[in-house]
Amino acid sequence: MKLKENIAISDSGYLFNPSTGESFIVNPLGMEVLQFVKKGKSFEEISREILTRYNVDPITFEKDYQDFIHQLRQYLLIGSDE
């Protein structure tokens, strides 16, 4: 899974899709996950990182992660062929 290359991500958590003109704001945890996704890390790798750093159980994280990825896909921030 890969973020579209042209998506602009600022450190503040502001995303801008130059193809559609849409902008989004993600919270700090979303930003962390996005940075992992951007680096091409797998779900297992991301899960391992997040579970080490935060007090969250694996099932809750997986559910939230999938919701988040679904939203990224819905807003065309992830390539449709991914």
Partner 1 sequence: MNRKKVTVGISGLNAIDSPGPGMAVAMGLHEARSLDVRIIGLAYESLEPMIYIHDLVDKTYQLPYPSSGSDMILSRLEYIQEMEHLDVIVPNFDAELYSFMKIEPRLKRMGIRMFLPTMEQYEERHKVNLSKFGEKYDMLVPHGKAVFEPKEVFDVKSEFTFPLLVKGKWYDAYIAYNIEQVLTCFNKISAKWGLPVILQKFVYGSEYNVTGLGDGTGTTVAAVAMRKQYITDKGKAWAGISIDDTYLLELTRKFVCATKWRGGFELEMIKTQENKYYLLEINPRIPAWTYLAVGVGQNIPEALVRLALGMKVQPYETYDVGKLFIRYSKDMIVDREEFEKLSMTGEL
Which residues would be at the binding site for partner 1 (CB under 8 A)? 6, 8, 16, 18-22
DSSP 8: E
User: Closest CB to partner 1 among 21 and 28?
Assistant: 21
Question: Which of 23, 5, 22, 4 lies closest to 14, judged by CA?
Answer: 23
User: Closest CB to partner 1 among 23 and 42?
Assistant: 23
Both tokens of residue 14?
A: 């502001």
CA Rg value for the chain: 13
Strands 14-17 and 22-25: antiparallel
Min. distance of Cβ 16 from partner 1 in angstroms?
6
Min. distance of Cβ 21 from partner 1 in angstroms?
3
Min. distance of Cβ 3 from partner 1 in angstroms?
16
User: Closest CB to partner 1 among 69 and 76?
Assistant: 76
Both tokens of residue 51?
A: 């579970």
